[in-house]
Structure 1
Amino acid sequence: MKSAQQIVRFVLPAVVFAGGLVLWEMIVDVNDIQPYVLPSPLLVLKTLVHDWPILSQSLGVTLLTTLEGFVAAALGGVALALLFNQSKWLEYSLFPYAVILQVTPVIAIAPLLLIYLQQQTAVIVCAWIVAFFPVLSNTTLGLNSVDRNLAGLFQLYGASRLQKLMLLQLPAALPYILGGLRIAGGLSLIGAVVAEIAAGSAGAGSGLAFRIAESGYRLNIPRMFAALLLLSLAGIVIYGLLALISYLLLRRWHESALGKES
């Protein structure tokens, strides 16, 4: 029964997607809509194949930026959360500024960063800004959510602060950390895209978001759709990889992963 439900769970979205593509193709053909208004799915696919040398190079630039921003956010967020956990004074002093950094729209920060930093550095910083806070907040929450009884047991046996951190707090916080990383993966791509659009408007850029803006200026709408398709696929792959890593790390002991195996 469960296997049948899992099959339906994966088949239904594919059927809906295929039906949407067929409906889209029919609407374009019946109404004779011009490609610069709305290209058909087949034309988008042909454009993706024809312009693949340009789009693939831009995709590589965007993915590299996303990876660098994500790694910086992951390392910085976890490290700062560990410092917050060890020093409440430090948390009270710096956490409000992390919140301010999160709520400030990155589209407003990107032009300023492009003035003071090199283009590629500014784009990476934008990706880091967007992805940093979910890792920091989730890790901080996880480290502070340790069971009080287990914490009392460690204290009763005279465990050092390092032993408590490594053997109790970090394992307990791992699901929270992985959840923050899954969120940060998609947000780092969004930050990279926003920064690339700002860099493109400043007259420089080579990422996939720049190609979208460039295609819009030239009314090359099929290429715009093809680039947007690549961005969507990149986001899905990033989330899928992080979800897989999370499952592999939690499947033997955490309820969130154990339930998926039954």
Structure 2
Amino acid sequence: MNERLLRLALPVLVLVIAIVLWGAVVRIEAIPPYVLPSPGLVASTLVSDGPLLMHSLWATLVTTLEGFALAAIGGIGLAVLFSQSRAVEYSLYPYAVILQVTPVVAVAPLLLIYLPQPLAVLACAWIVAFFPVLANTTLGLNSVDHNLLALFELYKASRWQILWRLKLPAALPQMLTGLRIAGGLSLIGAVVAEIAAGSAGAGSGLAYRIAESGYRLNIPRMFAALLLLSVAGVCIYFVLSFLSHLMLRRWHESAIARER
């Protein structure tokens, strides 16, 4: 119990110290707010510009969740197809790698030319989130204990039974790991595309507000928007981690060890 309290208290303590030092440096050095705003000014901006920033945050979160959902469905579905057909895996997996290693910041302006702005942002969120789900699920499906696989084949299990009763449960930890990674990456993809759209004078998401604030030297609003983005990313990670824990806590060692 003490260790859990310590794990919660130490990050909070570090955050408080950082905020105090930040405010002290701004006050002692008399740094103007258009260079580095104080924590108090950022907080007041978050309150005064709250409706605008919350509307933009909602737009970014909707795109992030849509991109994450598409990546989860597509990545898991394609990984299952790979596990059932080596020919399909050998044919398509290299293109998934190419999609992953191509920087999304270079792809976003091109997508904005050929697609409507909302679809282009959604495509970027999907591109960066897709490969972790595909790679981790494929690894899990291909890492089934060969002794268990031989036992299923000995009892004349069908390919569907092997997939549903053996491979998918065995791949669940890796699959959930890929989903946790994809949650944060989908937010990054949406932000990159929104910044590119903002450079073109379009957009309504939180990253667009950051770009707009930078052009207008409204640095307190930029910090407030960055704070909301960080909180959103942390919330996405912890929600997915909690769901992963719930699904694994009764049988997988990684979750059981945490409860001890």
Q: How high is the TM-score relative to the length of structure 2?
A: 0.99
1:29 aligns with 2:27: yes
Q: Provide the C-alpha distance between the structure 2 equivalents of 1:99 and 1:129, rounded to a whole number of angstroms.
A: 11
Residue of structure 1 equivalent to 2:253: 255
Q: Provide the C-alpha distance between the structure 1 equivalents of 2:103 and 2:140, rounded to a whole number of angstroms.
A: 26
Residue of structure 1 equivalent to 2:206: 208
**Deviation above 6 Å: which 4+ runs of structure 1?**
none
Match of 1:101 among 99, 102, 124: 99
1:226 aligns with 2:224: yes
5+ residue gaps, structure 2? none
SS in 2 for 1:35: coil
Residue of structure 1 equivalent to 2:158: 160
Equivalent residues in 2 for 1:70-109 (5 A)? 70-109=68-107
The one-letter amino acid paired with 2:249 is: R
Q: Provide the C-alpha distance between the structure 2 equivalents of 1:12 and 1:202, rounded to a whole number of angstroms.
A: 42
SS in 2 for 1:33: coil
RMSD (CA atoms): 0.5
Residue of structure 1 equivalent to 2:194: 196
Q: Provide the C-alpha distance between the structure 2 equivalents of 1:111 and 1:14, rounded to a whole number of angstroms.
A: 39
For 1:69-117, what per-residue CA distance to the aligned partner results, in whole angstroms no more than 9, with x for missing partners?
0000000000000111100001001000000000000011111111111
Q: Provide the C-alpha distance between the structure 2 equivalents of 1:106 and 1:31, rounded to a whole number of angstroms.
A: 39
Q: Provide the C-alpha distance between the structure 2 equivalents of 1:203 and 1:242, rounded to a whole number of angstroms.
A: 34
Residue of structure 2 equivalent to 1:240: 238
Residue of structure 2 equivalent to 1:178: 176
The one-letter amino acid paired with 1:76 is: G
Q: Provide the C-alpha distance between the structure 2 equivalents of 1:196 and 1:137, rounded to a whole number of angstroms.
A: 26
Q: Provide the C-alpha distance between the structure 1 equivalents of 2:202 and 2:11, rounded to a whole number of angstroms.
A: 39
Q: Provide the C-alpha distance between the structure 2 equivalents of 1:121 and 1:251, rounded to a whole number of angstroms.
A: 38
5+ residue gaps, structure 1? none
Residue of structure 1 equivalent to 2:148: 150
Q: Provide the C-alpha distance between the structure 2 equivalents of 1:93 and 1:149, rounded to a whole number of angstroms.
A: 28
SS in 2 for 1:9: helix
Residue of structure 2 equivalent to 1:132: 130
Match of 1:44 among 42, 51, 56: 42
For 1:33-62, what per-residue CA distance to the aligned partner results, in whole angstroms no more than 9, with x for missing partners?
100000001110000000001000000000
The one-letter amino acid paired with 2:31 is: I
Across the two proteins, how many residue pairs are aligned to each other?
Answer: 260
SS in 1 for 2:157: coil
SS in 1 for 2:156: coil
Q: Provide the C-alpha distance between the structure 2 equivalents of 1:203 and 1:29, rounded to a whole number of angstroms.
A: 35
Offset of 1:4 from its aligned partner?
Answer: 1.1
Aligned residues with identical type, % of pairs: 69
1:66 aligns with 2:64: yes
Q: Provide the C-alpha distance between the structure 2 equivalents of 1:202 and 1:143, rounded to a whole number of angstroms.
A: 43
Q: Provide the C-alpha distance between the structure 1 equivalents of 2:10 and 2:194, rounded to a whole number of angstroms.
A: 35
Residue of structure 2 equivalent to 1:6: 4
